[in-house]
Chains A and B, each alone.
Chain A
Amino acid sequence: MLESFYLTGWGAFGMMLFMLVPFMAVFFYVVLSKSYGDSSPSKAPQSSFVKMERAWIGLVIVVFVAVNIASIDFMPTTATAKAVASGEKITEVSFTAESWSFDLPETKIEVGKPIRFSGKSLDTMHGFAVYHPDGKVLFTMMLMPGLESPTSLIHTFKDAGTYTVRCLEYCGNSHHEMRDELVVVAAGS
């Protein structure tokens, strides 16, 4: 469950709504009831405001800390470090990007095998976003020209199929045409 929460755009959208919807409900209630309804001063003692202030700040801190700590396991940085530490053989996919195409090697990519994507840009800023066949973004990488080291991360595919690669950093008038494909095959095939 946490995986679909942290590793999908819709999980992110859910988190955003988790913060926004209760806020809006309380905000509109307070503003509307205290302006269009009874706008007389509250009779609640100052101590009750202080208690509520502390409870609110405490709640915010707890939620913020919990969400960010729980996300650590799902960061590509963590997954990359774990894959390296496991000692499993890592398939290398080194590529370059230049307006407006990718130069991807024809490497066999298998389900369940860790793949290290290492990319460099040869001219301007480019992106390297891998889309699952169902349209979901699996990960995106920023490629900045002029850097000595490539942008790099390790990803392990779970499904066979044809994945679309798109540039997600605006790179000029044909940016939208800059795409390619990755074919992921079942393990052992």
Chain B
Amino acid sequence: MLAATKILQRLPFFNRMFGVDAEDGLQEINSWPALMIASSFIWLAVAGLLGVAMPLIQRFELGSDLFYMALTAHGAALAFPFSFQLMAGISLHRAGGCVGKPITGVLPALIFICMNLGAALLTVAILLGFSVSLVVMYPLPVVGVATGQWSFNTLVLGFTGIALVLTMMIYLYPVQLLKMMFFGKKREDLILSERTLDDPGMLGMVIAALVLIVMGTPLMIIASYVLVALWGIIPLDVVAWATKPVVFQFAFFTFAHNLMEAMALMVISGIYATLPLYLADGTRELYSKRLANAALWILLITSFSSFFHHFITLLPNLPASLAYHGNIMSWGTGIGAALSIFTILATIWKHGLRKEPGIMIALMGFVIYVMDGASALVTSNVAWSFQLHGTMWQSGHTMTVLIAMSMMWIGVLYHHYPVMTGRTLSDKQGNWFMVLFTAGALGAGLVMLAGGAAGMPRRFADWAQGGWAVYGDLILVTGLLMAVGLIILAANFMKSRKLDEIPGSASAPEAAE
């Protein structure tokens, strides 16, 4: 029995939700992914509670320190150990079943340990006062020590946690994925639905893995130097070049932006792979592979340098030409998204759609993804960036993209769940989750964007200052809608029924495709 299976069996509640069958012959593609998925939902519970806590802290005036602590912990938990880890778990399972390669050995264990240990260390640092926000805001971590906001040891702890998380995202996970795609012996007994790189559903995964390695390496080099110096192994003077804010910030946002694009590529490929399985006429073909692949390539090419839009308001330190380049490249990603929209809608129109919760959840996630895309295009325009940068618009954009991608993955998980766990989920509860979570996510996104349009600052502990408290209240209401949806989803996982206990169940073979 794999270590991951044993850990899962010992996890209270989550063993009931994501425990895998050790005897079904698929443990090697199920166990580590299932453990990552279970762990991601634990982090989602943390992130969700903190998300609801933030407006309450402001409403009841519980203090700005507490607000910034909740803000940092919420963002960090939502983005990395939840959203990224959920993606890692489902995509590794998908890849395993498509190419017939096991997810076993040291690498998957390291992926799991680095992400969760790193996130735990960062959380402890945050609880000790390391409130630097999701994006670190370098050189704030160092300035915070100088101004007595947190201790040097807390900084070292926080950076160590971040380094572990980055190692998982930039190297361990992409290497595992590429290893499965290109190396090792194919095992027929692990193949659920064989696919090749000609398939848009597989191409996106490979592109995303490469993006993470290529665009993350500069940050890893810089972060490693800084961390080694913080540990006292080399003098800080030696890494002076790496500690310059302009160096760190540009390396950070080159990666952070492309991290989101890589996750988008990965999840769109997941939709391209899953949608055809739910077509009413049984064709199992996208409207056009050519158009689907073009969307992925356009998204890839335009996303590389669109990160300049993060620095538009640094004028003239970011030259106007690069600001406009970031503007145009960002709108270029919109062309890729437009092709994806057409591919998905034309596929559904041409072949009809089975109304099953998994694909519906994924499609509602896609709607939220498009809303996020529209908000991203607007704020990337140079003219609008000068009104929106630093406002709640940006938080709305970040939250929406993470929620959208996670929702699409939950839809894809719904599809893979029976083969992963040997159990099936309730359609009724799945539909309730879809309705409540979609309404909450759309509502929260629109409220945050509207708050930004009204000048409400992001990462700001005093919404009452500019009369923005009403937006905070609406964020709370919409957040609660999402929370209720997630509670229903959790109940659905808890009450999942074993396939062999359902008379005449056809779900197992179907899901295996």
Give the chain B neighbours of A127 by CB distance below 8 A.
313, 389-390
Please judge, given known A-B contacts A40-B280, A71-B381, A75-B382, whether A147 and B246 are in contact too, CB under 8 Å. Answer: yes
Determine if A68 is an interface residue (Cβ-Cβ < 8 Å). yes
Give the chain A neighbours of B462 by CB distance below 8 A.
176-177
Q: Which of B339, B352, B390, B461 contacts A34 (CB 8 A)?
A: B352
Q: Are B334 and A60 in touch, CB under 8 angstroms? A: yes
Q: Which of A16, A24, A44, A137 contacts B391 (CB 8 A)?
A: A137
* Docked complex Cα distance between A121 and B147 (Å): 15
Q: Which of B68, B287, B355 contacts A173 (CB 8 A)?
A: B68
* Docked complex Cα distance between A139 and B385 (Å): 9
Q: Are A34 and B348 in touch, CB under 8 angstroms? A: yes
Determine if B453 is an interface residue (Cβ-Cβ < 8 Å). yes
* Docked complex Cα distance between A177 and B352 (Å): 56
- By DSSP majority rule, is chain B's interface helix, strand, loop, or mixed? helix
Q: Are B246 and A12 in touch, CB under 8 angstroms? A: no
Nearest CB in chain A: distance from B136 CB, A: 10
Nearest CB in chain A: distance from B106 CB, A: 38
Q: Are B391 and A9 in touch, CB under 8 angstroms? A: yes
Please judge, given known A-B contacts A141-B313, A172-B140, whether A9 and B354 are in contact too, CB under 8 Å. Answer: no
Residue of A nearest to B312 (CB): A142
Determine if B195 is an interface residue (Cβ-Cβ < 8 Å). no
* Docked complex Cα distance between A76 and B320 (Å): 10
Determine if B281 is an interface residue (Cβ-Cβ < 8 Å). yes
Q: Are B249 and A144 in touch, CB under 8 angstroms? A: yes
* Docked complex Cα distance between A57 and B283 (Å): 25
- Contact mask for chain A residues 56-100; partner B; CB cutoff 8 A; 1 contact, 0 none: 110011001001100110111100100000000000000000010
Known pairs A16-B371, A23-B341, A125-B249. 8 more at Cβ < 8 A? A12-B393, A13-B453, A30-B348, A76-B315, A135-B454, A168-B391, A170-B459, A176-B460
Interface residues of A (CB under 8 A from B): 6-13, 15-16, 19-20, 23-24, 26-28, 30-31, 34-36, 38-42, 44, 49, 52-53, 56-57, 60-61, 64, 67-68, 71-72, 74-77, 80, 99, 123-125, 127, 129, 131, 135-142, 144-147, 149, 151-153, 166, 168-177
Supply 13 A–B pairs (Cβ within 8 Å), ascending by A. Answer: A9-B455, A16-B374, A16-B449, A31-B348, A57-B342, A60-B335, A127-B389, A140-B387, A141-B315, A151-B317, A153-B386, A166-B457, A172-B143
